[in-house]
């Protein structure tokens, strides 16, 4: 979630961010009102608790004198008065105790209301992020040139036709076993997935990322902390009997790796990479990309993740983009880089860059990788902090993520861009050591 202090100090900035995202700016006022109710409730609770403590101290001496008189054998004219006073103070204390509990419950409820309101607001976008939705991105660069298949004298096949020629993709059996948007990769197709993951893992390791093997099932607090149970909860597979969620990206498990910890970043950012199986319901995508393996429910992905100081986040973001481009350059694909518009960012990201590869049979660019700067949004939810380099306390750090490679979408782009007239597919040079061949030929 965003920093409440920042929202108090700069509400207009948060409102502008909401408008750029196409979201409700009045949520800022709802948070401010909830914050005021919380502070009022806490003030009333603390005042009542102080009165309760004072009354308790007042009762102590009275009970001391009363007990002393009761233990003595002599009658005392003060005894009835002291008993009356003690009973009065007890009744007052009991009433105060009930009031304190009532005010504490009200303060807890106000805090819960504030948290709910605050979680409804996405991360504050960075300066320069284009406003608008999916089609309002800013083009940053284009790399490579799309092939002119007409000049080469043949009509390009789409990835599924090529995959079937190569004996690499079996959609029919995938649907038989699991339903729509499931598939089998077999033979050279399975080896191609392994090769892609191997290349991405090698590059991530060369770039200084510590490899991790991560859980694919996580608790609700981890999923929510990473920001995947807000507006995207309909895309997530849940196992209610176990109160666990299947992750749609290893970003979730990577974000939770240091939850509730104080990190030492004196030697620089902590960088991790993980390859995992990912699961997405693809809610709302009915009728989109139904042919082939571009949009599926299960796939492999190598993800990079960074924990760093907030002031280093922009530089780390550029570094993640550089690494993603290194992977795409190695695959010899024509692609472009876009600065994603605010309305298409997702809640945790303050800025996101997408790398989109050219898909010849669709005659358009399609997303292959993305990298997001989440600033302190995820870490604040997950309570991940660092020792403040400017003081003796702690502060929330920043997190970033970037996709090194996924399994299915690069296969789509590779098959279509590197196909030959006879249905064979040329293997990019960087991938050959992992695949063991320079050409994938029809069976």
Active site residues: 280, 295, 367, 370, 409
Q: Could you tell me the sign of the dihedral formed by the alpha carbons of 324, 329, 331, 334, in that order? A: positive
Element (H, E) at 371: strand 364-373
CA 343, 344, 348 angle in degrees (round to 5)?
90
Number of helices followed by number of strands (H, E) in the chain: 14, 18
Dmax over CA atoms of the chain, in Å, equals 121
CA nearest to 183, candidates 65, 291, 342, 49 = 291
In terms of Cβ atoms closer than 10 Å to its own Cβ (0-12, 13-18, 19+), residue 106 is middle
* Residue 40, number of CB atoms within 10 A of its CB: 13
CA nearest to 276, candidates 252, 293, 258 = 252
Exposed e or buried b per residue across 164-188, where buried means at least 16 C-beta atoms within 10 angstroms of its C-beta? bbbebbbbeebeeeeeebbbbbeeb
Cβ contact 407:159 at 8 Å: no
Question: Cα-Cα-Cα-Cα dihedral of 26, 29, 30, 31, to 10°?
Answer: 120
Whose tokens are 């309002």? That residue is: 136
How far are the Cα atoms of 51, 319, 325, 357 from residue 143, in angstroms, in the given order? 70, 18, 10, 9
Two structure tokens written together for 231: 């507006």
β-strand 364-373 against 351-359: which pairing, if any?
antiparallel
CA distance 249 to 258: 17
* DSSP string for 61-97: HHHHHHHHHHHSSS--TTHHHHHHHHHHHHHHHHHHH
Element (H, E) at 54: helix 26-71
CA distance 361 to 298: 23
């Amino acid at each position: 979630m965003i920093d409440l202090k920042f929202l108090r100090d700069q509400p207009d900035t948060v409102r502008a961010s909401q408008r750029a995202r196409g979201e409700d700016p009045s949520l800022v006022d709802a948070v401010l009102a909830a914050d005021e109710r919380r502070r009022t409730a806490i003030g009333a609770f603390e005042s009542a608790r102080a009165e309760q403590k004072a009354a308790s101290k007042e009762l102590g001496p009275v009970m001391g004198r009363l007990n002393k008189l009761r233990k003595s054998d002599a009658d005392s004219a003060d005894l009835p008065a002291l008993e009356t006073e003690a009973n009065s103070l007890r009744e007052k204390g009991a009433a105060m105790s009930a009031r304190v509990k009532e005010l504490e419950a009200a303060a807890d409820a106000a805090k819960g209301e504030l948290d709910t309101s605050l979680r409804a607001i996405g991360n504050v976008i960075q300066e320069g992020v284009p406003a608008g939705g999916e089609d309002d991105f800013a083009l940053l660069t284009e790399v490579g040139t799309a092939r002119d298949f007409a000049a080469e004298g043949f009509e390009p096949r789409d990835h599924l036709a090529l995959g079937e020629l190569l004996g690499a993709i079996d959609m029919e059996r995938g649907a038989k076993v699991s339903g729509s948007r499931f598939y089998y990769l077999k033979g050279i197709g399975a080896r191609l997935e392994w090769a892609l993951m191997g290349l991405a893992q090698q590059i991530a390791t060369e770039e200084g990322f510590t490899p991790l093997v991560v859980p694919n099932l996580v608790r609700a607090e981890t999923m929510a902390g990473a920001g995947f149970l807000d507006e995207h909860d309909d895309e997530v597979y849940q196992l209610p009997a176990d109160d666990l969620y299947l992750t749609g990206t290893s970003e979730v498990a990577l974000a939770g790796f240091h939850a509730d910890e104080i990190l030492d970043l004196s030697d620089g950012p902590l960088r991790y990479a993980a390859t995992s199986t990912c699961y997405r319901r693809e809610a709302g995508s009915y009728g989109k990309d139904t042919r082939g393996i571009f949009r599926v429910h299960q796939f492999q992905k190598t993800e990079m993740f960074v924990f760093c100081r907030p002031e280093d986040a922009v530089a780390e973001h550029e570094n993640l983009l550089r690494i993603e481009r290194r992977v795409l350059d190695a695959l010899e694909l024509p692609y472009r880089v876009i600065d994603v518009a605010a309305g298409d960012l997702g809640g945790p990201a303050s800025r996101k860059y997408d790398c989109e590869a050219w898909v010849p049979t669709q005659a358009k660019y399609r997303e292959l990788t993305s990298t997001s700067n989440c600033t302190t949004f995820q870490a604040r939810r997950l309570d991940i902090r660092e020792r403040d380099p400017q003081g003796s306390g702690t502060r929330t750090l920043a997190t970033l993520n970037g996709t090194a490679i996924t399994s299915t979408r690069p296969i789509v782009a590779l098959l279509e861009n590197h196909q030959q007239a006879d249905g064979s597919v040329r293997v990019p040079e960087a991938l050959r050591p992992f695949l063991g061949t320079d050409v994938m030929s029809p069976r």
